[in-house]
Amino acid sequence: MLPKGFLFDFDGVVVDSFESHNSAWSSAFKTLFNKEIPAFPKSHAGKSPMVISEYFCGTIDKKTQTEALYLLKDKHLDTHFITPKLLPGVHEFTRFLSSKNIPYGIASNATKQFLKNSIYHLNLNFPAVFGVQDYEKPKPAPEAYMSLANALNIPVTHYKDVWVFEDSLTGTTAAKLAGMVPIGILTQYSEKELKEAGSKLCFPTLLEAFNYINNL
C-alpha cells in the first residue's frame, strides 16, 4: 500500500540551493562586518537561519549581531535572488501524488520569502508550503512536520504511514520525533549517516524514490 502522505524538506531535497544561500550569507556578512565569511559547516545543514547566523557571528566573537546578520541575509536572499537548481524527480512525484489524491507539502527551515520566490520561478506544484516563520520551534523539533500534516488534514493516527523526505540529520530527527517515517535523500549525508539518524530508506534523489513508489 502507498503511504498516506508525503512531506518534503526543500533545500537538498527539492532543490540544490547552496549557491543561493551561500551568496546571500557571504554578501550579508561582508556588508555587516567587512570580512569574508568562513566556510559553511556541514554540521549546520538543515538548521534554522538564526542558528546558522549565530554560528557565523560566533566565529568572529560577534554573537550580539546574530539577529542583524539573520535579517540582512534574508534581505539579500530576496533582493539578490538566485534561483536554486531543481533536483531530479520533483515534477514526476508531485504529478503522481496529485493524480492519486495523496496529501503532500513542504516544511522547511528556509524563510518563507525564499520558498515563495523559488516555487514561483521553478513553477512547482505544492499545495502547502511552510517556512521557518511558521514555527515556534524549527527543526529538529517536530513542530514543522506536525503543523504541515495538520494543514493537509492528515490525522495523527496516520503519522506512522507518512513519509518525510529529508537530506539532513536535523530534519531526519524532526520527522522521527513527529512519529513519521524519515526517508533519506543523499545530497548531504551518506546512507549510513542518515540511517543511523533514523531514515528507513535512502535514495540518491526524489527520482529514484518516485520510481520505487511508482512500483509499489
DSSP classification of residue 201? E
Whether residue 155 has a cis bond before it, omega within 30° of 0: no
Average pLDDT, the chain: 96
Who has greater pLDDT, 186 or 41? 186
5-16+84-214 falls under which CATH superfamily? HAD superfamily/HAD-like (3.40.50.1000)
Calculate mean pLDDT across residues 158-177.
Answer: 97
Which residue is it, cell 503532500?
A: 104
Calculate mean pLDDT across residues 14-38.
Answer: 95
Q: pLDDT category, 41, cuts 50, 70, 90?
A: confident
Residue 138 has pLDDT above 90, yes or no: yes
If DSSP codes are grouped into helix, strand and coil, which group holds residue 153? coil
What nine digits make up the cell of 206? Answer: 526524489
Q: In the prediction, which pLDDT does 43 show?
A: 85
What nine digits make up the cell of 112? Answer: 518563507
Q: Give the C-alpha separation, 121 to 141, whole Å.
A: 29
Other beta carbons within 10 Å of 39: 7
Residue 115 has pLDDT above 90, yes or no: yes
Q: pLDDT category, 142, cuts 50, 70, 90?
A: very high
| Selection from 141, 185, 190, 193 nearest residue 167 by Cα | 185
Residue 175 has pLDDT above 90, yes or no: yes
Long-range (24+ apart) CB contacts under 8 A made by 60-64 are 60/33, 60/35, 62/33
Other beta carbons within 10 Å of 134: 16
Q: pLDDT category, 110, cuts 50, 70, 90?
A: very high
Residue 45 has pLDDT above 90, yes or no: no
Q: In the prediction, which pLDDT does 42 show?
A: 83
Domains of the chain: which residue ranges? 5-16+84-214, 18-79
Q: pLDDT category, 216, cuts 50, 70, 90?
A: confident
pTM of the model: 0.91
Q: Model confidence over 55-82: pLDDT tens digits? A: 999 999 999 999 999 999 999 999 999 9
Residue 134 has pLDDT above 90, yes or no: yes
- 154 and 4 Cβ atoms separated by less than 8 Å: yes
What nine digits make up the cell of 211? Answer: 520510481
What nine digits make up the cell of 153? Answer: 488534514
Residue partners of 33: CB distance under 8 A and separation at least 6: 60, 62, 65
- 16 and 84 Cβ atoms separated by less than 8 Å: yes
Q: In the prediction, which pLDDT does 160 show?
A: 98
